[in-house]
Amino acid sequence: MIKKIQQKLLVISLLVFGAINIVQAAPKSETWYFGTKSGLSKYYHFIYRGNNYVPNDAPFEKSRITSGFLIGQQTTNPHVGVEMSGEWLGRLNYTGKDIVAALWEGYGFQMSTILRHPISKTLDLYTRLGATIWHVTSDQVVKDQITLHNTLWGPSPVLSVGFEYAWTENIAMRLDFQWTNRVGNRKTVGCRPHIAFINFGFIYRFQQKDQLKPSSMNNVYNLLDHVKKIITLNNKS
């Protein structure tokens, strides 16, 4: 009875070990992936200084919930990929002594190159370098009933670092820290803050199982052969 339990545990552990060897952190070469992300944005240097906007005259919370999606492709180089993403930059609402109501809201469309460095077989450290095309809406109403409404499109550089963990061959999880430099301008929408992000995302990778390397499958078959030999020796002893 004890031998049978030991044999079962041995089979399970070896099969799990073989499966882990197949999974890798980076997507397989020349395959696509799709994902969603959500988290928090933090605005820095959010100060009105132009286009007749009234300067901020009361403290307010500058952290907001964000969300987005991404589409990417791994190149023939296992360390390099390209990504496109759309994201909601967050929505700031605030009032003050002279400000009856105010709104700042932004969206972005991002293009970037992702550079990966493996930490383990299932975990990558990566950095993304690129640019985003943003759209900003800036509204403000003050006590003397002056209403300002302006929108603006523009580009900004983007830098990101993060970790990607391969949960299975097709599903990965990502923790991403992003910095977007100077969104908006003072001449049109009144200010140009920096925005920092922390996002958590899920990614689905396409065409992973169909491209398993023969060497990886051979490792599993070899493990099964070893299991059979061990079980046969245990039964004889």
For the segment 146-193, what is each residue's pLDDT rounded down to a tens digit? 899 999 999 999 999 999 999 998 999 999 999 999 999 999 999 999
Inter-axis angle of helices 2-22 and 214-236, to 10 degrees?
170
Residue 90 in this model has a pLDDT that exceeds 70: yes
Q: Any long-range contacts for 158-162 (C-beta under 8 Å, 24+ apart)? A: 158/110, 158/112, 158/128, 158/129, 158/130, 158/131, 158/132, 159/127, 159/128, 159/129, 160/112, 160/127, 160/128, 160/129, 161/125, 161/126, 161/127, 161/128, 162/125, 162/126, 162/127, 162/128
Q: What would be the CATH architecture of the domain defined by 23-209?
A: Beta Barrel (2.40)
What pLDDT was estimated at residue 87?
A: 95
The percentage of the chain sitting over the pLDDT mark of 70, rounded to a whole number, equals: 78
pLDDT category, 8, cuts 50, 70, 90?
A: low
Mean pLDDT of 65-88: 94
What pLDDT was estimated at residue 4?
A: 54
pLDDT category, 143, cuts 50, 70, 90?
A: confident
For the segment 94-134, what is each residue's pLDDT rounded down to a tens digit? 888 888 889 999 999 999 999 999 999 899 999 999 999 99
What pLDDT was estimated at residue 3?
A: 53
Residue 212 in this model has a pLDDT that exceeds 50: no
Domain map (residue ranges) of the chain = 23-209
The percentage of the chain sitting over the pLDDT mark of 90, rounded to a whole number, equals: 60
